[in-house]
Amino acid sequence: MKMKLYCSPTSPYARKVRVVARELGLADLIEEVMIDPHTASGNFLDTNPLSKVPTLVTDKGQVLPDSKLIVEYLQTRGRGLTSLPRGAARWGILRQQWLAEGLIDTAVGCQMEKRRPAALQSADMIERQLAAIRRTLDALESEAGGLLTTETVRTAEISVGVALGYLDLRQPQLQWRSRREGLAHWYLSFALRPSMQATQPPAT
């Protein structure tokens, strides 16, 4: 039985898992099922009562309802990612990964706010989130030299790459590349990886 990955074509959390699956050579073992978690019903809600994508059902029928959990699980099933060093360097790389994860959370938060009826949206809230995104991009830019462009990468690069791709999709007006040459240069080659190309979100 194949594993089943519930995802949506635009979710950055789902894309992260889909990229990891491909980098680990596990894509053939996983059936990707595209759903809209905002309108999902029936089977999916029984599978994940949180109604969020990504959700993985393993080949043993276990349900994993969160991208970080799924990435951890997939790493026990395949090889193809560079493992993290030990010691101080480990925390530097994880810091970059967590900044990127925060970037995704904040950009998705912005998107959720924009989904509300116009009269209920808070311009202050959106501006506060955009300011956090700009600051976080600046922090990632200052450490962009540490991002790998090697044949195999780490989960940190995948989180950073997916976060930047999501900004292209949802916040193009931010022009994140402007004055962030290090990140922009790194992303040019990262975005060409087959795992990234195969998971590009549709143009909206």
Ligand X SMILES: N[C@@H](CCC(=O)N[C@@H](CS)C(=O)NCC(=O)O)C(=O)O
Q: How far is the CB of 165 from ligand X (least distance, A)?
A: 13
- Does 33 bind ligand X (CB under 6 A)? Our answer is no
Q: In the chain, how many H helices and how many E strands?
A: 8, 4
Q: Rounded to whole angstroms, how far apart are CA atoms 122 and 126? A: 6
Judge whether 26 and 56 are in contact, CB under 8 Å.
Answer: no
Using only C-alpha atoms, the chain has a radius of gyration, in whole angstroms, of 17
- Does 143 bind ligand X (CB under 6 A)? Our answer is no
- Does 9 bind ligand X (CB under 6 A)? Our answer is no
- Does 129 bind ligand X (CB under 6 A)? Our answer is no
What does the block give as tokens for 154? Answer: 């780490």
- Does 38 bind ligand X (CB under 6 A)? Our answer is yes
Going residue by residue from 146 to 185, which x/- string records binding to ligand X, judged by CB under 6 A? Answer: ----------------------------------------
Task: Specify the stretch interacting with ligand X by CB under 6 A; choose among 62-70, 79-87, 130-138, 188-196.
Answer: 62-70
Cis peptide before 9 (omega within 30 of 0): no
- Among residues 21, 26, 53, 74, the one that binds ligand X under rule CB under 6 A: 53
**92 vs 109, which CB is nearer to ligand X?**
109
The 10 Å CB-count burial string (b at 16+, else e) for 40-65 is: beeebeebbeebbbbbbbbeeeeebb
State whether residue 4 is helix, strand or coil.
strand
- Among residues 5, 15, 67, 195, the one that binds ligand X under rule CB under 6 A: 67
Binding footprint of ligand X on the chain (CB under 6 A): 11, 13, 37-38, 51-54, 66-68, 108
